[in-house]
Amino acid sequence: MAHNNLEFFFEETGSMNEEILLEPFSISGYSLFLKREDQIHSEVSGNKFRKLKYLFEDMRATHKRAILTFGGAFSNHIAATASAGKLFSIPTVGVIRGEELEPYIESNPTLQYASRCGMRLIFMSRSDYKDKDQGEVLKRYIRDLHDYYIIPEGGTSQLAVKGCSEILSDTDVEFDHVAVAVGTGGTFAGILNSLQPHQEGIGFSVLNGTFQKEILDKFSSNSKYQLTDRYNFGGYAKIDSELVRFINKFKELTNIQLDPVYTAKMMYGIMNLMKAGYFRKNSRILAIHTGGLQGINGMNLRLKSKNLPQIEI
């Protein structure tokens, strides 16, 4: 069913999250909670919901013909944008990194889902994709570019950060630390903007490096945070048997599914910091579950091809 009132939909749906005490992981006097952003919507979930909220509202106001955005083969952003486009009857176009992927839409869970939501998929060579922000490159793939409302890869922008600043609620002031996985940095910037003076933000980069500090400085004036890539397991979408075991054990103990690209690495990092004594005794820690569960099927295909253990669903 299509929704015409975007503002009402986002306001009502965005309040459907809660903080869950993770008793099996609250060790050594710490209290660890998980904010279930993954539950606010079945398809447009977590931080992608937050990032798209004001972007879709702005798109409607500009009267553009369609939304144009970018992503890789298993992109949460592509899946969420396609789903939101279907919900609001807004045409969407996804520019996908890697022209070699075009014949494999039906065997790729993310691309198949996006296509069935009505998203038009355009496959761009990897060399061109590196220069996709240059207008002349994009025009080779998209005619009448001025008709499209362009959302950057990952969705990070001023409006996206504004949406992510709404992740925390008034009751979250009771926490000492707020942790989140970091990709482009937009979600973390939004969270930093809504922290109270007594709170510290902790970002777990899922890529190699902490280059996202540039984005954080651009969109937030809050410098009370830590950002580490120590728990990225080798880089973006990289995963090994140890992390798979952690994901499966976490689900066994809590009945909560973690995604392998973002939230699992954050939770693994938090547990290590707790064991290492990073947090003061009696600290209250809030971790943000940013969704991304749609990528598990694709990750399991990759794990299977390498004869590695599967993520239990």
Query: Which pLDDT tens digit goes with each residue over 193-232?
Result: 999 999 999 999 999 999 999 999 999 999 999 999 999 9
Query: Which pLDDT tens digit goes with each residue over 164-179?
Result: 999 999 999 999 999 9
Q: Give me the mean pLDDT over the 118-136 stretch.
A: 94
pLDDT at 15: 57
**CA dist., res. 66 & res. 56, Å (int):** 10
pLDDT at 20: 87
Helix (H, G, I), strand (E, B) or coil at 200: strand
pLDDT at 12: 54
pLDDT at 29: 78
Poorest-pLDDT segment among 17-26, 95-104, 137-146: 17-26
| Sheet with 31-36, side-by-side order of all strands | 19-21, 31-36, 284-289, 177-182, 200-205, 225-228
Find the distance separating the first CA and the last CA of the chain, reported in whole Å: 27
Please give the backbone phi and psi of residue 67, each rounded to the nearest 5 degrees, phi first: -95, 135
pLDDT at 148: 96
pLDDT at 279: 92
**CA dist., res. 6 & res. 267, Å (int):** 32
Tell which wins on pLDDT, 51 or 13.
Answer: 51
C-alpha distances (whole Å) from 82 to each of 88, 174, 185, 298, 302 are 10, 36, 22, 17, 23
Helix and strand counts by DSSP (H, E) for the chain: 12, 10
Tell me how far the alpha carbon of residue 27 is from its chain's centroid: 27
Find the radius of gyration of the CA atoms of the chain.
Answer: 19
**CA dist., res. 7 & res. 23, Å (int):** 36
Which residues lie closer than 8 Å to 131 by C-beta, 6 or more apart? 137
pLDDT at 1: 44
**CA dist., res. 50 & res. 157, Å (int):** 12
**CA dist., res. 100 & res. 264, Å (int):** 29
Helix (H, G, I), strand (E, B) or coil at 150: strand
Residue 127 pLDDT grade (very low, low, confident, very high; cuts 50, 70, 90): very high
Per-residue DSSP letter, 145: G
